[in-house]
Amino acid sequence: MGRWIKRVATACGALVLVVCIVGFAYMRALDLDSQPPAGARSTVADLDFMRAAVQGSRGRILAVVTSTSHFPGGEKKAGFELTELARAYYVFQANGYEVDIASPRGGAPPMRRDDEDMVATDFAFLNDAGARRKLAASLRVADVDASRYAAVYFVGGKGTMFDFPGDPGIQRLVRDVYQRGGVIGAVCHGPAALLDAVLDDGTPLLRGRRVAAFSNAEELFLIEDARSRFPYLLQDRILQKGGHYVEGPMYLDNTVVDGRIVTGQNPWSTWSTAEAMVRALGHVPVARAPGRDEQAVQVMAAYHRHGIAAAREARAALPEADKRLLLMHALVAAMQGRAGDAWHLQALALD
């Protein structure tokens, strides 16, 4: 060990050595290996909540994804978010609803995935031959018979910002499902589908409605030049359309229910958005144990609402909370100059 320290000291300098030692000790203290990532071979049979699925059919729900693969110019990828489709897909199935998938152009839509953010449910979707067949041959929105569906759910992904607004098929779907008494759901960038929806009496769907969607703060943190890359920012456009935008903390669960319109702010709102849609359809969702990522979000929500003492209580009650997600939020806080929040959040990862 002494020889190793001398070599590192020679190569890096004494200060860097101290940082390396402290960093090594810190990572050991975190014990991230105790929370291995989800298995890429996960299947539907591995999902506990699917084993308690409702028997018999309650109807059908249509999930709509974007067909836009890239930003204008073709350099930056767009597409839909796998996590926002997969998690809702199985929540709906577990609660007795058959799920169809559609897109503006039909056929195989462009998927975006980040394995570091994926849980067993997401890998199960990738390994589900039936789900993958539906995705590869998604229905063309213009051809969809809206009368078949109890609800329509708009999946997020940056591509939606380009092809959801102004699409007459999407506007028809929203109008017809809603006016027949159905439920409209959308998450993250998915609420872009609601921007141009108008009811038969000429009332814009969003006018006077409480709505969540990907916030300006979240968008601009990830893409500094978002205002020039996108034709609009979703929060701004919702306000322009007469909606009441409801903003929650960055990258934490925030789902808003306004009658039969259910919207979620970001990917971490997917579970709650899907389950709120089931409630809006008149059913109590099948019991589902929250995953490590959801537990971490609950801990951070307690911190933002009630402070560090409440967060520590929540952390003690949720020992499996995802340490990596807590650390990611600590890093975001540090990058925003919120040193106190960064310190508390990393400490919660250590608890």
309-331 b/e with 16+ CB inside 10 Å = b? eebbebbeebeebbbbbbbbbbe
Please name the residue that has the structure tokens 């609420």: 191
- Cα separations in angstroms, 93 against 56, 71, 109, 261, 328: 10, 32, 21, 20, 31
CB 218 within 8 A of CB 199: no
In the chain, what are the domain boundaries?
1-30, 44-280, 290-351
What are the tens digits of pLDDT across the range 157-211?
999 999 999 999 999 999 999 999 999 999 999 999 999 999 999 999 999 999 9
- Note if the pTM is more than 0.85: yes
CB 122 within 8 A of CB 272: no
Nearest-10 crossing angle of helices 82-94, 270-280: 30
| C-alpha to C-alpha distance for 68 and 126, rounded to whole angstroms | 20
* pLDDT bucket at 31, cuts 50 / 70 / 90: low
* pLDDT bucket at 37, cuts 50 / 70 / 90: confident
What are the tens digits of pLDDT across the range 121-150?
999 999 999 999 999 999 999 999 999 999
The second-level CATH assignment, the architecture, of 44-280 is 3-Layer(aba) Sandwich (3.40)
